[in-house]
């Protein structure tokens, strides 16, 4: 890799907690210089979030460390006239301005898009919010769980006996952040042709519905509403979680040839001539009976043994791991997915943080350093202003 793709791109990041910081973290991994603008003495709320109370008190909570490695931190009070002037000068040389306030907050603070665009015509301004900048819900507060519920995610997560159930990680925040990062890179690419920036209005609700794929499109196109099915896949059978000698195993024999191979390997070729299981739609209609037959056959070996046997034969199958087990997979180590970075304050401790899931020319994208201590780069504002003095459209 000759250089990271976004090297030279300057991102002014006003975001907090997860969706926005997750977006700017990926921009940083791609090479952008990200400067967090944080409220003096308080900073990003994520600094106080995580399972380690000591880290939370120190303002470097685990939730903050995970999404902010490699960024800079400056403290600015946008109600203070001198700090507002500093912010204005930084915006004039930025490529990207990113915020996740409630709709219209930055404008009410005196920085509407029209003014920012006049100041810096090449600026890409991305606003992430729960519902978007317009519409009857635009002023409603929103966190991940609120979006999951409104998007219908919780209504189809779990079983008929357990719904509604929240997805076990903040998926709406994550999808919102990725959608923002994608739109920002697209706007930067367009700017190379037009010289003009753009205003990007990212709705976490809309991004979440978009990410739900078949659960939404099957209803829109075919009128079939999705239902909670636990660990089973509505589109195929056998496709879900099965029982082995020592624990659960995921199998997704979604194609006819995969089902045939599965039956042969578990010693149940008789299932292939059973009218209930002969073809896809019949198997879906008789899913419970088919699963019972396969569970009996699978209980003679361990999950790891079946994973190796079935995968080698082209049948998608794998154990169900805990997070501590998953992060130790040899596959992730081989691809250098995690990076050890120093703890803020350089006390000798390190933190392991995730990468992006992409190799560029065979190389992983790594954060260039640790997450910042609150305001650690405030003293460097004059140097930042000197470097960011050239407007984005001129540099483009």
Question: 266: domain CATH number?
Answer: 3.30.1540.10
Q: Are residues 73 and 197 in the same domain?
A: yes
Pairing of strands 338-342, 350-354: antiparallel
Residues in the chain: 396
Let me know if residue 140 belongs to a domain.
Answer: yes
Q: Domain span at residue 299? A: 248-319
Q: What is the rounded average pLDDT of the residues 164-192?
A: 97
pLDDT digits (tens, 9 = 90+) for 143-168: 999 999 999 999 999 999 999 999 99
Residue 108 lies in a domain: yes
Looking from the CA of 38 toward its CB, the CA atoms found within 13 Å total 29
Q: How many helices (H) and strands (E) does the chain have?
A: 18, 13
> What whole-number percentage of the chain has pLDDT above 70?
98
Q: What is the pLDDT of residue 347?
A: 72
The answer to whether position 164 is within a domain reads: yes
Q: Give the domain-ending residue among 268, 291, 319.
A: 319
3-state SS track over 46-85:
HHHCCCCHHHHHCCCCHHHHHHHCCCEEEECCCCCHHHHH
Dihedral sign, CA of 189, 194, 195, 200?
Answer: negative
- Asked whether residue 48 falls in the same domain as residue 189, the answer is yes
Q: Are residues 298 and 366 in the same domain?
A: no
Q: In CATH, what number is assigned to the domain containing residue 94?
A: 3.40.50.10540
Please check whether residues 157 and 30 belong to one and the same domain: yes
Q: Examine the domain organization and report whether 57 and 188 are in the same domain.
A: yes
Give domain status of residue 60, yes or no: yes
Residues 71 and 95 in one domain: yes
3-class SS of residue 323: helix
What is the distance, to the nearest Å, from the Cα of residue 253 to the centroid of all Cα atoms in its chain? 28
For residues 54 and 90, state if they share a domain.
yes
The sign of the dihedral angle between the CA atoms of 151, 155, 157, 163 is positive
Is 173 designated active site?
Answer: yes
- Of the residues 259, 284, 319, which one is the last residue of a structural domain? 319
φ/ψ of 100, rounded to 5, equals -135, 45
- Residue pair 78/105 in contact (Cβ under 8 Å)? The answer is no
| pLDDT surpassing 90 at residue 116 | yes
> What six digits make up the tokens of 201?
């209005």
Pick the catalytic residue from 95, 173, 231, 246.
173
Task: Quote the tokens at residue 318.
Answer: 């794998």
Average pLDDT over residues 21-38: 97
**Which ranges of the chain does DSSP label H, i.e. alpha helix?**
19-29, 53-57, 62-68, 81-93, 105-108, 113-119, 144-151, 171-194, 204-211, 214-222, 256-265, 280-285, 287-298, 303-312, 323-326, 330-334, 381-387, 392-395
Residues 117 and 207 in one domain: yes
Residue pair 139/196 in contact by the 8 Å Cβ criterion: no
> Rounded CA gap, 374 and 383, in Å?
18
Is 135 a member of any domain? yes
Domain count, the chain: 2
- 305 and 200 within one domain: no
Is the pLDDT reported for residue 355 higher than 90?
Answer: yes
Task: Report yes or no on whether pTM surpasses 0.75.
Answer: yes
Segment 258-306, tens digit of pLDDT: 999 999 999 999 999 999 999 999 999 999 999 999 999 999 999 999 9
- The chain-wide mean pLDDT, for the chain, equals 94
Tell me which of 288, 319, 350 is where a domain ends: 319
């Amino acid at each position: 890799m000759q250089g990271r793709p976004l090297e030279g791109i300057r991102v002014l990041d006003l975001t907090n907690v997860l969706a926005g910081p997750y977006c700017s973290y990926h921009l940083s991994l791609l090479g952008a210089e990200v400067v967090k603008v944080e409220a003096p003495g308080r900073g990003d709320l994520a600094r106080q979030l995580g399972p380690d109370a000591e880290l939370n008190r120190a303002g470097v909570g685990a939730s903050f460390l995970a999404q902010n490695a490699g960024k800079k931190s400056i403290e600015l009070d946008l109600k203070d006239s001198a700090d507002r002037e500093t912010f204005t000068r930084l915006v004039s040389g930025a490529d990207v301005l990113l915020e996740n306030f409630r709709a219209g907050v930055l404008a009410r603070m005196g920085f509407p898009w029209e003014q920012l665009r006049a100041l810096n015509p090449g600026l890409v301004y991305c606003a992430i919010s729960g519902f978007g900048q317009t519409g009857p819900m635009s002023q409603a507060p929103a966190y991940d769980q609120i979006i999951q519920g409104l998007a219908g995610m919780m209504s189809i997560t779990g079983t008929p006996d357990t719904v509604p159930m929240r997805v076990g990680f903040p998926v709406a925040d994550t999808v919102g952040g990725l959608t923002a990062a994608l739109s920002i890179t697209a706007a930067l690419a367009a700017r190379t042709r037009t010289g003009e920036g753009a205003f990007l209005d990212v709705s976490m609700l809309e991004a979440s519905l978009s990410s739900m794929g078949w659960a939404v499109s099957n209803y829109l196109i075919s009128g079939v509403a999705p239902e909670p099915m636990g660990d089973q896949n509505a589109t195929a059978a056998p496709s879900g979680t099965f029982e082995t000698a020592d624990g659960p195993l995921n199998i997704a024999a979604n194609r006819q040839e995969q089902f045939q191979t599965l039956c042969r390997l578990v010693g149940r070729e008789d299932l292939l001539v059973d009218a209930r299981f002969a073809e896809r739609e019949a198997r879906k209609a008789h899913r419970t009976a088919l699963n019972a037959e396969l569970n009996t056959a699978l209980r003679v070996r361990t999950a790891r043994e079946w994973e190796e046997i079935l995968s080698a034969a082209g049948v998608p199958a794998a154990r169900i791991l805990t997070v501590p087990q998953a992060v130790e997979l040899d596959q992730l180590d081989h691809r250098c997915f995690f990076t050890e970075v120093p703890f803020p304050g350089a006390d000798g401790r390190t933190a392991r943080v995730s990468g992006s899931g992409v190799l560029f020319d065979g190389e992983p994208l790594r954060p260039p350093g640790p997450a910042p201590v609150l305001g650690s780069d405030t003293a460097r504002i004059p140097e930042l202003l000197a470097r960011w003095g050239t407007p984005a459209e001129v540099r483009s």
